[in-house]
Amino acid sequence: MFKKLALLFLVILTVYLLLPDVDLSQGSKQWIAQESVPLAEHDNLFNAIAGLTVAADENMTASGINQINAANIKLTEFLNSEENLQSGNSPDFDSHWTTPALVPTEGINILCDPRAQDCREIWLSQKNTIEQLINENGILLNRYQDLKQYPEYRNTLLTDVRSPVPDYSILMSLNRLHGAGIALRYSDPERAATLTDLNNDIAFLRRLISQADTLIIKMVALSMLKHDLYLYSSLMDTRPDEIYLFDELPALTSEERSIEEPIKYEFRMNTNLIYEIKTYPQLITGDLGVPYWLPFPMFRANHSINMVQKVLNKNLKNNQKTAIEFYQRYSVQNNDREFKPGWLSYLYNPIGCILFSISIPDYSKYIIRIHDMDGLISMINLKRHIKRENLGPDDIEEYVKEMKNKYLNPYTGEHIDWNPGEQTLSIRSPGSDFITNKVNIIFPETTK
């Protein structure tokens, strides 16, 4: 009897080990086959951003192209070398990626941030400091302005988790310093020209948001746009009698809301990693002290890729929902937000399911940030109308209700909230802590 059971176990084990991998799903095949149209190198904003911090005597675009090409060659050599087979190793990229030749002055990071508070008086008190920082960072600020001339954006680094990433924090610092300079110049007579400068910056960031092909640059550009919009709101309070200078802000376009390209980039990056692990299982066995061949029958590459494509496609469909539809699904059917492999999948592809479970993040937070931006635009446009109508604090509660068909909370379709004590417009965002997005309104009698 024991021998029969042992034989049956061996037969079942043999059948399991010989089970073939599934075919790639139609969706996976389509996403793998899609390739971006290559751009002329010198027209590509990404290449310029990569070279933003090169030495003062270098051309940022040409240097960026050279650094990207060198990084791609280095990564390709690494992937084809024995060094890659040792778990934890990474390519030795050029030091530019971690130690740029030009860096913004540290003082930029302590400038008042309009996203967090009313900065009008603080900027004026920091006037000398801001002017000094603008002078010290003149080369970088000129390059930041030059970035706006590039018509297209496309990541030209190899799609790999080990590819270097430009230091986007520098881009954000320059956006912040540029904004502080605009705030100072708005106090001068040429206010219309200053607002034109800010509107050009807003247009540049919105174009970058619409063309972003990775999540990191999409979120960076959204953060920079949020800074500019809060600056726009702050300037409305600086000279309320000249509110006619401010234009209505357009709502986000479908291209600006979309995360399709970033999602497909995430898919390609995961696909490349899955195939690499299938070819070189020692990448995950090196630290476990087991033979490299041991996980082979417990890791099915195509099945793993199909799981990734399924959950990313689900998030892509969530991104295509209206904010109201997304919010209802997010808050009411909370458990439906995540795709989890079933027990049959764990039996069939245990290692793939484990890697999937620990490596795929919740993309809802990115979708929320996009809908939050729509809410911010709505609040600022509502503030513009309140200013133009010269309404007082006691008139606003009724006014926001009257205007809810045009200026509303995107998650609920209801009117924007007005807090007379704080004197703020706000919407509630469905983030993990229900973070409140607010816009201050400073009335003429309190304007300095």
Q: How many CA atoms lie within 13 A of 393 on its CB side?
A: 13
On whether both 282 and 143 belong to a single domain, the answer is no
pLDDT tens-digit profile of 380-391? Answer: 999 999 999 999
Residue 188 and residue 176: Cα distance in Å, rounded? Answer: 20
Highest mean pLDDT among 222-236, 357-371, 429-443: 222-236
Instruction: Give the lowest-confidence range in 4-18, 248-262, 266-280.
Output: 4-18
Task: Please answer whether residues 222 and 173 qualify as being in contact, where contact means their C-beta atoms are separated by less than 8 angstroms.
Answer: no
CB-count exposure of residue 177 (10 Å: 0-12, 13-18, 19+): buried
Task: Please answer whether residues 76 and 158 qualify as being in contact, where contact means their C-beta atoms are separated by less than 8 angstroms.
Answer: yes
On whether both 198 and 241 belong to a single domain, the answer is yes
Per-residue pLDDT at 341:
84
358 assigned to some structural domain = no
Choose the final residue of a domain: 353, 377, 406.
353
Per-residue pLDDT at 360:
84
With a cut of 90, say whether residue 235 has pLDDT above it: yes
295 assigned to some structural domain = yes
Residue 436 and residue 76: Cα distance in Å, rounded? Answer: 45
- Strand positions, DSSP E, 293-432: 417-419, 424-428
- What is the rounded average pLDDT for all residues in the chain? 86
194 assigned to some structural domain = yes
Backbone angles phi, psi at 436, to 5 degrees: -95, 130
Which of helix, strand or coil describes residue 218? helix
Cα distances from 26 to residues 20, 33, 340, in angstroms, run: 18, 11, 20
7 assigned to some structural domain = no
- Confidence class for position 196, pLDDT limits 50, 70, 90: very high
Contacts of 267 (CB under 8 A, 6+ apart): 31, 308, 309, 312
Give DSSP secondary structure letters for 234-260.
Answer: HHHHHSGGGGGGPPPPPPPPHHHH--H
On whether both 214 and 101 belong to a single domain, the answer is yes
With a cut of 90, say whether residue 207 has pLDDT above it: yes
Whole domain around residue 391: which residue ranges?
Answer: 363-448
Q: How many CA atoms lie within 13 A of 402 on its CB side?
A: 7
Per-residue pLDDT at 291:
52
Choose the final residue of a domain: 202, 225, 247.
247
On whether both 295 and 326 belong to a single domain, the answer is yes
Choose the final residue of a domain: 319, 353, 387.
353
Task: Please answer whether residues 296 and 255 qualify as being in contact, where contact means their C-beta atoms are separated by less than 8 angstroms.
Answer: no
Per-residue pLDDT at 4:
46
On whether both 418 and 348 belong to a single domain, the answer is no
With a cut of 50, say whether residue 337 has pLDDT above it: no
On whether both 213 and 79 belong to a single domain, the answer is yes
Share of the chain above pLDDT 90, in %: 60
Stated pTM of the model: 0.91
- Structural domains in the chain (count): 3
On whether both 293 and 416 belong to a single domain, the answer is no
Per-residue pLDDT at 192:
84
A 10 A CB-CB count for 242 gives 15
With a cut of 70, say whether residue 1 has pLDDT above it: no
pLDDT tens-digit profile of 275-320? Answer: 888 877 766 655 545 455 555 677 888 999 999 999 999 999 999 9
Nearest to 261 by CA among 208, 300, 224, 225: 208
282 assigned to some structural domain = yes
Backbone angles phi, psi at 428, to 5 degrees: -95, 130
Q: Bigger pLDDT: 431 or 448?
A: 431
On whether both 299 and 413 belong to a single domain, the answer is no
On whether both 278 and 397 belong to a single domain, the answer is no
pLDDT tens-digit profile of 67-121? Answer: 999 999 999 988 888 766 665 677 889 889 989 999 999 899 889 999 888 888 9
Q: Provide the edge-to-edge strand list for the sheet that holds 424-428.
A: 417-419, 424-428, 436-440
- Confidence class for position 433, pLDDT limits 50, 70, 90: low
9 assigned to some structural domain = no
Instruction: Give the lowest-confidence range in 29-33, 284-288, 364-368.
Output: 284-288
Instruction: Give the lowest-confidence range in 43-57, 156-170, 293-307, 394-408.
Output: 293-307
Share of the chain above pLDDT 70, in %: 86
With a cut of 80, say whether residue 202 has pLDDT above it: yes
On whether both 280 and 231 belong to a single domain, the answer is no
On whether both 271 and 395 belong to a single domain, the answer is no
Nearest to 185 by CA among 174, 196, 175: 196
4 assigned to some structural domain = no
- Confidence class for position 197, pLDDT limits 50, 70, 90: very high
On whether both 85 and 233 belong to a single domain, the answer is yes
- Provide the H-helix boundaries in 239-333: 254-257, 260-279, 282-285, 301-320, 323-332
253 assigned to some structural domain = no
With a cut of 90, say whether residue 445 has pLDDT above it: no
Residue 438 and residue 435: Cα distance in Å, rounded? Answer: 10
With a cut of 60, say whether residue 29 has pLDDT above it: yes
Nearest to 410 by CA among 338, 345, 324, 310: 324
Rounded to an integer, the average pLDDT of 425-434 is 78
